[in-house]
Chains A and B, each alone.
Chain A
Amino acid sequence: MTSSTASTFAQLLVAVPVLAAVVSLILARSAPGASRAVSAVTAVLGFLVSVGLLVNVPAEGFAAATTVGPLQVGELKVPLELLVDRPFAVVALAVAFVVACIQLYSVWYMATDPRGAVFQAIVSMFGAAMLLVVLSGDLLLTLIGWEVMGWGSYLLIGHHTFRRSARRAAMKAFLLTRFADIGFVLGIVALAAQTGTTRLAVIFEHFGEGAAAPTAALVLMLIGIAGKSGLIPFHDWLPDAMEGPTPASALIHGATMVAAGTVVVGRLFPLYAESTDARLVLAVLAAATTVYTAVMAFTQNDVKKLLAYSTMSQVALMLGALAAAPAEEHGAAGLDHLVSHAVFKALLFLGAGWLAAIGGGTAFALLRGRMKGWGVLPVSFGLGLAALAGIPPTIGFVSKDGVVAAAREGTTTGAHIVLYATYLTVFLTAMYATRAYLVLVSGDPEEPDHHDDSHTPPPTGSSYTLVAGVIGTLGLLSLVGGAAFLVQGAHIDPTVAAVSVGIALLGVLVSWALSRRPGGDPATVLSESWARATQVNLGTDRVYAGFAAGVVALARVVVRLDNAVVDALPRGLASGATATGGAADRAHRGVPSTGLLAVLSGGLIVLVLGVALWR
Chain B
Amino acid sequence: MALSLLLVPPLIGGVLLLLVLRGTPARLCGAVAALAAALSLVGAVLVSTGRPRIDTAWVPSLGLRWSFAVDGIAIPLILLTAALTLLVVLHSRGVEPPGGTPATFYGAILLTSFGALATFTVRDAIGFYIAFELVLVPMWVLIGRFGDEHAPAAVRTDAANRFLLFTVTGSAFLLVGLILLVTLTGTSNLDQLAAAAGSSLSHGQQVLLAVLLVAGMAIKVPLWPVHTWLPPAHSTAPTAGSVLLAAILLKMGTYGLVRVAIPVVPDGFATIAPYLAVLAVVGIIWAGLACLVERDLKRLVAYSSVAHMGFVVLGLSSGTQTGMQAALFGNIAHGVVSGLLFMVVGRLKSQWHTADLESVPRALRELSPRYGFALVVGFAAALGLPGLIGFWGEVLSVYSAWTAAASRPSGLFQVCAVVAAIGMALAAGYSLRVLRQVWAGEAASTEGSAADPARDVSGVEWAVVAAMVAAIVLGGLLPAPVLATTGDDVARLLTASSTAGGMP
Contacts and interface: CB of A to CB of B under 8 A. Distances in A.
B10 to A, nearest CB: 32
27 contacts: A68-B477, A68-B478, A70-B480, A73-B487, A74-B490, A144-B387, A147-B385, A147-B386, A148-B387, A162-B441, A167-B436, A174-B428, A178-B424, A178-B425, A182-B418, A182-B425, A185-B421, A186-B417, A189-B402, A193-B399, A555-B289, A558-B286, A558-B289, A566-B224, A566-B225, A567-B228, A570-B162
Contacts of B484: 72
B114 interface: no
Interface string A535-565: 0000000000000000110111011001000
Given A68-B477, A68-B478, A193-B402, A74 B320 contact: yes
Interface stretch (B47-55, B171-179, B390-398): B390-398
Contacts of B363: 161-162
A164 interface: yes
Nearest to B423: A182
B321 interface: yes
A29 B369 contact: yes
Given A71-B479, A74-B326, A189-B417, 9 more contacts: A70-B480, A74-B320, A74-B490, A162-B448, A179-B425, A552-B292, A558-B289, A559-B290, A562-B228
Interface string A174-191: 110011011001100110
Interface string A133-159: 000000010011101100100100010
Nearest to A22: B473
A189 B421 CA distance: 10
B165 interface: yes
Contacts of A185: 395, 398, 421, 424
B292 A555 contact: yes
B166 interface: yes
A182 B290 contact: no
A96 B134 CA distance: 57
Contacts of B479: 71
Contacts of B201: none
A69 interface: yes
Given A74-B321, A167-B442, A140 B326 contact: no
A181 B398 CA distance: 13
B324 interface: yes
Contacts of B491: 74
A209 interface: no
B489 to A, nearest CB: 12
A-B CB proximity, top 10 nearest: A74-B321, A74-B322, A144-B386, A555-B289, A161-B440, A567-B228, A178-B428, A555-B292, A558-B289, A555-B293
A281 interface: no
Contacts of A140: 395
B432 A154 contact: yes
Interface centre among A74, A148, A192, A556 (most CB of B within 10 A): A74
B421 A186 contact: yes
Binding site of B, secondary structure by majority: helix, strand, loop or mixed? helix
Given A144-B387, A189-B417, A555 B290 contact: yes
B428 A71 contact: no
Binding site of A, secondary structure by majority: helix, strand, loop or mixed? helix
Contact of A186 (B387, B398, B428, B478): B398
B93 interface: no
Interface in B464-504: 477-480, 483-484, 487, 490-491
A164 B402 CA distance: 40
Nearest to B400: A74
A190 B289 CA distance: 26
B365 interface: yes
Given A182-B424, A182-B425, A555-B293, A72 B487 contact: yes
A499 interface: no
B316 to A, nearest CB: 12
Contacts of B402: 186, 189-190, 193
A171 interface: yes
A75 to B, nearest CB: 5
Interface in A555-591: 555-556, 558-559, 562, 566-567, 570, 574
A552 B391 CA distance: 25
B421 A559 contact: no
A162 B395 CA distance: 34
Interface residues of B, number: 64
A604 interface: no
A437 to B, nearest CB: 37
Nearest to B232: A567
A68 B477 CA distance: 7
A59 interface: no
Contacts of A525: none
Interface string B418-434: 10011011001100110
A371 B291 CA distance: 49
A386 to B, nearest CB: 39
B181 to A, nearest CB: 26
A249 to B, nearest CB: 19
A76 interface: yes
Nearest to A164: B442
B290 A562 contact: yes
B40 interface: no
B92 interface: no
A127 to B, nearest CB: 14
Interface in B403-427: 403, 417-418, 421-422, 424-425
Nearest to A548: B429
Contacts of B386: 143-145, 147-148
Contacts of A551: 289, 292, 429
B206 interface: no
Nearest to B369: A29
A29 B373 CA distance: 12
A172 to B, nearest CB: 10
Contacts of B149: none
Contacts of B294: 559
